[in-house]
Amino acid sequence: MSKLDYCFSNDYMVLRPDRASPVELLHLLLSPKVGRNRAVDCFASTDVRSFHRRLAIFLNLLLQILLLSLAAPLAALGAAVELLLNLVDNVLHGQCILFVWYDDSAKNTTPCLTACLSLCRGCMLCAGRMEYPDKSSPTYRSMTGLIDRRVDLDRSIKPTDSRFDAALCVMASKLAYENEPFIRNVVTRHWQNNSDFGGPQTAAMIWCRWSSCVSTTAGTFQNAYTAQAFVFCDKPVIDAEVIVVAFRGTRPLDAARWCADVDPSWYKIPRLGCAHAAYTHALGAQRNIGWPKWVDHIKGKPQKVTTSLLLLLGINLGVSNDSHTDTTASSTDDRRNTPAPDDGAVTVSMCTARMQVYAYYTIRDALKEVLEANKKARLLVTGHGSGGALAVLFPAILAYHKEKTVLDRLAGVYTFGQPRVGDAMLAMFVERNLDRPKKRHFRITYGHDSLPRLPIERSAFHFLHFGLGLHFDKSYELKVRWEIPGEEETSSSLLVDLVASRVNSAWELGRGVYLGYRRGGFFREGWLLLLLRAAAVALPGLPFHRVQDYVNAVVLGGHIPEDN
């Protein structure tokens, strides 16, 4: 790839597993001349004399090659497992459909058949044609939604509670893993009934999804890594008090996202610092020019992402358009049953135009329009996992562009299990623009979640965490700390680690059963989550990255500090 692709950066290092041949990998181990290695894009004069660092890069490339080779099988496996679990979930919740077709109006039915079907109805089964779960249905759940079925907000947390923003953000981060009809249904039907969130009115919703993003400079294998997010507010836009932007994180069997999470590639951007390459491009950084104030090219046509483009994408500002059609609704009945937006609602349908859509620019311009129409609403940005990384970089780029209109309304950035996104210079830039005069960046971690420890490769421009660190232990007790607990600790024995992991898993299994019995339905864990917790006892090291524990931690963890 031409070095001009990185001309917006003072320095850079981008790993290229798509070009990592055995010769290049061997050269990486034996020679410090990394700038001459085709598996690493960097300045030709770059030398890495530390063997340990070259070994870390070597192992990282091997891991990415392995993940990319398993991408297709894992995607197929994930789709099959998700479909099967949705089918099982329908059966367990009384939505199973018989394999035979039965017409109640038929005159030639036998008394025996009629009695059998009546018995089936009594068992919460319904007669009809066999239908498999539809991925575009408002009832279809992702793996995350199947593990944690909660969709309602905790009514015990009031807007005056210090946990309110964090509780709202963690539920939005969890909801971001679902499909559009599911999200729209939850926001407009479940959350609108919460008297502390939107009152009796229908919550306005902006849905933003990016089916294509700018091509990454790290090769075509990362083109699948795009940013997905949705935006909603508690009331119609004119009267809204809270606007939330929630970025989707990494799905369980998404190998492309896994590669991005473990990839230590970075760019050093003037005035900003070293930023994670994959997350930077997922938000919409432009090849050759990085982060211009405006995007002046979409599929080769000069065009700015302004109101005209937002309208083209389906955004109706001001009074909603009743003729607007939701192209992704699963059926006419679903559309008919979905509440119509109130006056002043903002609706963004999924992009159907054949053009490049850039996450940062689309969200930024939509927010500027909304915040200009509403002078009192405050803004929250959130995400779980890699969605948290995008949630941190989004306001950082706003500050880079001096978007004071949006930044002044930013009330908080809440990330859950967020990986590292930059170096000390980026940390100082974000702190200077987000955490003064008061803290607005809250980085929440739980237990021994592995994702906040990524990327593990360290360098002179090593990745680090910043923001106010709120760590919850396995008892959901909150501690404010900058480092990740246990990150620098080295165990004297592998056996000790295995025993400790089994003990922690057994504790979580018992705690999950106890909380459901002691505190009621909101904390009652489903069969799938309990099964995973039991499997973690037998298979030490099963991730702590589940959203379930982050929801519990925020609700049960007590007071969330607003400042140091």
Q: Are residues 350 and 209 in the same domain?
A: yes
Q: Are residues 292 and 393 in the same domain?
A: yes
Element (H, E) at 207: strand 205-209
Mean pLDDT, residues 366-379 taken together: 90
**Would you state the pLDDT for residue 89?**
82
**Within a domain: 261:** yes
**Within a domain: 382:** yes
Name the token pair of 473: 């232990």
**Within a domain: 179:** yes
Mean pLDDT, residues 399-414 taken together: 93
**Tens of pLDDT, residues 44-72:** 888 989 898 899 999 999 999 999 999 99
**Would you state the pLDDT for residue 408?**
92
Mean pLDDT, residues 550-554 taken together: 93
Q: Are residues 221 and 366 in the same domain?
A: yes
Q: Are residues 41 and 179 in the same domain?
A: no
Does residue 331 register a pLDDT over 50?
A: no
**Within a domain: 171:** yes
Q: Which domain holds residue 19?
A: 3-67
Q: Are residues 43 and 170 in the same domain?
A: no
Does residue 351 register a pLDDT over 80?
A: no
Q: Are residues 272 and 391 in the same domain?
A: yes
Nearest CA-CA partner of 363 in 343, 342, 385, 383: 383
**Would you state the pLDDT for residue 205?**
59
Q: Are residues 217 and 366 in the same domain?
A: yes
Q: Are residues 17 and 162 in the same domain?
A: no
**Choice between 305 and 192, residue whose per-residue pLDDT is larger:** 192
**Would you state the pLDDT for residue 218?**
40
Phi, then psi, of 471 in degrees rounded to 5: -110, 130
**Would you state the pLDDT for residue 329?**
36
**Would you state the pLDDT for residue 105?**
47
Q: In the beta sheet, which residues pair with residue 416?
A: 384, 444
Q: The domain spanning residue 377 has which CATH number? A: 3.40.50.1820
Please state the pTM of the whole predicted model: 0.82
**Within a domain: 326:** yes
**Would you state the pLDDT for residue 112?**
56
Q: Are residues 506 and 366 in the same domain?
A: yes
The region of weakest confidence among 220-234, 255-269, 273-287, 343-357 is 343-357
Mean pLDDT, residues 445-458 taken together: 83
Among 30, 48, 67, the domain boundary falls at 67
| DSSP symbol at 84 | H
**Within a domain: 214:** yes
**Within a domain: 45:** yes
Among 67, 95, 120, the domain boundary falls at 67
Mean pLDDT, residues 321-325 taken together: 34
**Choice between 188 and 127, residue whose per-residue pLDDT is larger:** 188
Q: What percent of the chain has pLDDT above 90?
A: 32
Q: Are residues 59 and 184 in the same domain?
A: no
Q: What percent of the chain has pLDDT above 70?
A: 70
Mean pLDDT, residues 502-506 taken together: 83
Q: Are residues 19 and 158 in the same domain?
A: no
**Within a domain: 131:** no
Task: Reduce the DSSP state of residue 145 to 3 states and report it.
Answer: helix
**Would you state the pLDDT for residue 524?**
86
- Nearest 5°: the CA angle 343, 349, 354 is 140
The region of weakest confidence among 263-267, 483-487, 511-515, 552-556 is 483-487
Does residue 233 register a pLDDT over 60?
A: yes
Mean pLDDT, residues 523-538 taken together: 85
Distance CA 205, CA 243 (A): 9
Mean pLDDT, residues 522-530 taken together: 85
Does residue 557 register a pLDDT over 90?
A: no
CA distances from 80 to 10, 66, 196 (A): 45, 21, 39
Q: Are residues 402 and 550 in the same domain?
A: yes
Among 67, 93, 120, the domain boundary falls at 67
Domain count, the chain: 2
Does residue 124 register a pLDDT over 50?
A: no
Average pLDDT score over the chain: 76
Mean pLDDT, residues 177-183 taken together: 92
**Would you state the pLDDT for residue 215?**
35
Rg (CA), the chain: 25
**Choice between 329 and 283, residue whose per-residue pLDDT is larger:** 283
| Band (98; pLDDT cuts 50, 70, 90) | very low
| Band (356; pLDDT cuts 50, 70, 90) | low
**Tens of pLDDT, residues 7-58:** 677 788 999 999 999 999 999 999 999 999 999 998 888 898 989 889 999 9
Distance CA 556, CA 298 (A): 47
**Would you state the pLDDT for residue 350?**
36
Burial state string for 433-445 with b = 16 or more CB within 10 A and e = fewer than 16: bbbeeebbbbbbb
